[in-house]
Amino acid sequence: MKSHIFTKFEYKSTLYRLNILFSKENIEISVFESLKAWKVNIDNKILKDLSIKYDTNITEYYKSLKLNFTKPQNNSITFENNKLILFTNTKDDLKIKVFDCELNKVDFGEFILNLCDNLHTEKSKMYDEDVELGKRYNELLKSKIECTEKLNEFIERKNIDDENLLNKFGTILNEKKQKIQYLTEIIESLSNGANEPDSSIEKKKNVKKRKKNESDSDD
């Protein structure tokens, strides 16, 4: 992803404007003042050489350049004889050189036109990215609403299932209680009538015994 920095710096009472475009392939630096313009393209090979020169690796060096150019108030820049130098300022007011490059003078009119074209291209690209992000946001929002609705439906179904299960459990429990009560009553009834035989039963036994005796006597 490209990163664009546009800032100002002053050197020897002259105000300069600095335009830097960071990309994966290179760093494009442009300086212009009044009706003059300078430009340089720093590719990965040059950037690697610079990182070795300033005793660091290319990844960290790339990050530090973006940070230092983004915050010029913590640094100082000189521009003389087409050469740009970046210094970092320490707490002890010491200046440490961290970057240098030589720029080529270019036609100011052409430079401004190219700059405008690049800015327009970047603006159009950013607009397209914003539109795409807007679409993705709407899709995510729609998905979120659908997921929320499904979750609510699931919760509602679960609550209904839980309620039905609880009702069934209550019904089964009541049936078991009634059965236990019924069996308890039978047991109690049998226990209470164990010492008092039913007279009708005894009569039937006596009739059977009498008939048997009569049958034996006939023989």
Q: For residue 172, is pLDDT > 70?
A: yes
Pick the residue with more confidence: 154 or 190? 154
> How confident is the model over 57-83, as pLDDT tens digits?
888 988 888 888 887 667 889 999 999
**Residue 144 is inside which H or E element, if any?**
helix 108-193
Could you give the CA distance from residue 99 to residue 85 in angstroms, rounded to a whole number?
A: 6
Question: How many CB atoms sit inside 10 A of residue 22's CB?
Answer: 20
| Amino acid (1-letter code) at residue 167 | N
| DSSP secondary structure letters along 151-208 | HHHHHHHHHHHHHHHHHHHHHHHHHHHHHHHHHHHHHHHHHHHTTS--HHHHHHHHHH
Question: Over the stretch 100-159, which tens digit does the pLDDT of each residue have?
Answer: 999 999 998 888 888 888 778 878 888 888 889 889 999 998 999 999 999 999 999 999
| pLDDT score of 196 more than 70 | no
Does position 204 have pLDDT exceeding 70, yes or no? no
% of the chain at pLDDT higher than 70: 86
Which strands make up the sheet holding 83-89, listed edge to edge? 75-80, 83-89, 95-102
> Which band of pLDDT confidence, cut at 50, 70 and 90, is reported for residue 195?
very low
pLDDT for the residue numbered 83: 95
Mean pLDDT across the chain, nearest whole number?
A: 83
Q: Which amino acid is at 99?
A: F
Specify the DSSP class assigned to residue 71: -
Domain 3-106 annotated CATH 2.170.210.10? yes
Residue 90 has pLDDT above 90, yes or no: no
Segments making up each domain of the chain, as ranges: 3-106
Spatial contact of 50 and 56, defined as CB atoms under 8 Å apart: no
pTM score above 0.95:
no
Window from 13-22, 24-33, 187-196 with minimum mean pLDDT: 187-196
Average pLDDT of the residues in 87-107: 88
Fill in the DSSP letter of residue 52.
H
- pLDDT score for 218: 54
The single residue listed with the structure tokens 């992000």 is 133
Residue 199 has pLDDT above 50, yes or no: no
